[in-house]
Amino acid sequence: MQLVRLARKGGVSMYKKAEIRVGMFLAAFLMVLAGAAIFSCSREKPATRGGTLVVGEISDFESLNPMGTTDAHARDIYNLLFLSLLDEQPDFLSFKPRLARSYEFSKDRKQLTFHLRDDVKWTDGAPVTAYDVKATFDAQKNPDVLWSGRHLKEHIDSVKVADAHTVTYYYNEVYPYQLMDANDGPIMPAHFINSTEPNKIRNIQIEDIPTDGPFKLLEWKRGQALVLVPNENYYEKGKPYLDKVIFKIIPDQVTLLTQLKSGEIDCMESIPPREVKDLENNHPELHVFNFPTRAYIYIGWNEKVPFFRDKKVRRALTMAINRQLIIDNLYYGYAEECTSPFVPIIWAYNPNIKPIPYDPERAKELLAEEGFADSDGDGWLDKDGKRFEFELMTNYGNEIRKDVQVMVQDMLKKVGIKVDPAILEWTVMLEKIKSMDFEAMVNAWRVGTKADLEPIWSCASRRQGGYNRIDYCNPTVDSLNTLACSMLDFDKARPLFYKAQEIIYEEQPYTFLYVPHALDALNKRFKGAKPDAIGMYHNLQEWWVEEK
């Protein structure tokens, strides 16, 4: 989080305490990344221009319109096309200048003023100004736009333009996340926003939107490839170094690996853990990055489905699933069991929650207490004449999630529950998730850098455009989270966050499976890469190809 920086002018002592505590984690974090740092930063030769990077992607992107997508991986790409006011750093504590050269708070911390660069242009040649910042904020706040991050702006009343390169955010209260919330969401062009009806903004294709980031879109053949090239108007002259970046859609992990090893692609995210040793031992031309991630894998139980409305049933399902066996068999030491909707690199993570034990016999008892029995002797539990059977979906091409499906199917069969696996193309699955048209799913979240449970877990987030896709609702969790998010003192906020996490884990709206390590591979010809918990391509404009 970037909360320490917020207090540098405010004189609130808790931020320094937070910096020390988080700094202890960062020391370990940097040790983990030492190999990556050596690989990416230690070079005698200067960066050279030219070359093409081919990235293998297992699925296409939902949308690259920042107002219209909830796909975390799409966010990695649109952040290469659009600039934010500031560049969040991988410590989650600090920012570097981006579109804004600098910023300052008023004495009462209810006004935040940004001073923008004067040398940034959109790809259509128009200058980027404070009016773009205001238009973006107004669209983000407009309920007709249905931007999924609208809640992040709830404490910002308005944005006012002082001149073409000075803009001020006006807050209705003081809280730790003011800078982060202002910065969330890239700035989009006012002449695009103001010429589009609000309810149509999120549906505009990226090809029709001017951009201002280091790269621009050259071509997007849906389901085949996305091609980026340098934006000649980009303000950092001489960057990007690469001539072209191709995101090649290969919806099969085995084929992706084959092409990585053969050199047909240069980069691949989410290397199957079983393949890491082979790549390290037999492919010296590849570097495998292993670093902490903000992701966790889960099974989501849609509480609109009658089977999953009772927490005792959900707990029984978790007890019947041997999560440690899944980790051991599929992750080879590159994952840890998950017990929280936060991940360990987030400051508010509760490390004291004990995993629900694997206990299929106790699971059977809980299910019996809820009225499930094999009344017709067919080997499957039933209740009120209906067999306990459901569809468990995941996305095509992800071999590990398919393996999780198979293992869970076998484990639940042993307690009398019939699981029907369904494997869908990613964009099809995403549409079903958004409409809550599913029973259960194996999926993943990459959580935000801000400690806030509201987007995924609040009752209000069940609305259209929200992230609560399983119909979970607990007003106590909402109250704890709201109070914790408003506190300036981490020591006071932490117990509230801890309690909220305990309640969620107790109720098991998800069966939390594991927190994987990020395992990404890149051909060693490419220099300058610094993958981190922000994203693999966080500094793609600085990547370059070493001349042979």
Q: What is the pLDDT of residues 74-95, one digit of tens each?
A: 999 999 999 999 999 887 778 9
C-alpha–C-alpha distance, residues 169 and 154, integer Å: 12
295-516 adopts what CATH topology? Dipeptide-binding Protein; domain 3 (3.10.105)
C-alpha–C-alpha distance, residues 113 and 105, integer Å: 6
| Average pLDDT for 210-231 | 98
Of the candidates 6, 46, 203, the residue with the CA atom closest to the CA atom of residue 528: 46
Joined together, the tokens standing for residue 257 give 């690996």
Q: Structural domain boundaries of the chain?
A: 3-32+83-208, 295-516
Of the candidates 262, 252, 253, the residue with the CA atom closest to the CA atom of residue 283: 262
Q: What is the pLDDT of residues 224-258, one digit of tens each?
A: 999 999 999 999 999 999 999 999 999 988 999 99
C-alpha–C-alpha distance, residues 183 and 327, integer Å: 36
In three-state secondary structure terms, 514 is strand
| Average pLDDT for 105-109 | 97
C-alpha–C-alpha distance, residues 217 and 65, integer Å: 12
C-alpha–C-alpha distance, residues 226 and 81, integer Å: 12
Joined together, the tokens standing for residue 352 give 């004291």
pLDDT of residue 447: 87
C-alpha–C-alpha distance, residues 337 and 357, integer Å: 12
Joined together, the tokens standing for residue 380 give 């499957």
Is residue 2 predicted with pLDDT exceeding 70? no
Q: What is the pLDDT of residues 246-289, one digit of tens each?
A: 999 999 889 999 999 999 999 999 999 999 999 999 999 999 99
Q: What is the pTM of this model?
A: 0.80
- Expressed in angstroms, the distance from the first to the final Cα of the chain is 40
Is residue 170 predicted with pLDDT exceeding 60? yes
pLDDT tier at 130, thresholds 50, 70, 90: very high
Cβ neighbourhood burial of 226 (10 Å; 0-12, 13-18, 19+): buried
Give percent above pLDDT 90 in the chain. 82
pLDDT of residue 548: 66
pLDDT tier at 32, thresholds 50, 70, 90: very low
Q: What is the pLDDT of residues 368-414, one digit of tens each?
A: 999 999 999 999 999 999 999 999 999 998 889 999 999 999 999 99
In three-state secondary structure terms, 485 is helix
Looking at the chain, the number of H-run helices and the number of E-run strands are 17, 23
Is 444:125 a contact under the CB 8 Å cutoff? Answer: no
C-alpha–C-alpha distance, residues 70 and 433, integer Å: 11
Q: What is the pLDDT of residues 502-512, one digit of tens each?
A: 999 999 999 99
| Average pLDDT for 133-138 | 98
Residue owning tokens 């500094």: 539
Higher-confidence residue: 92 or 417? Answer: 417
pLDDT of residue 41: 45
Element holding 228 (H helix, E strand) = strand 225-230
CATH tag for 3-32+83-208 (out of 3.40.50.720, 3.90.76.10, 3.40.50.300, 3.40.640.10): 3.90.76.10
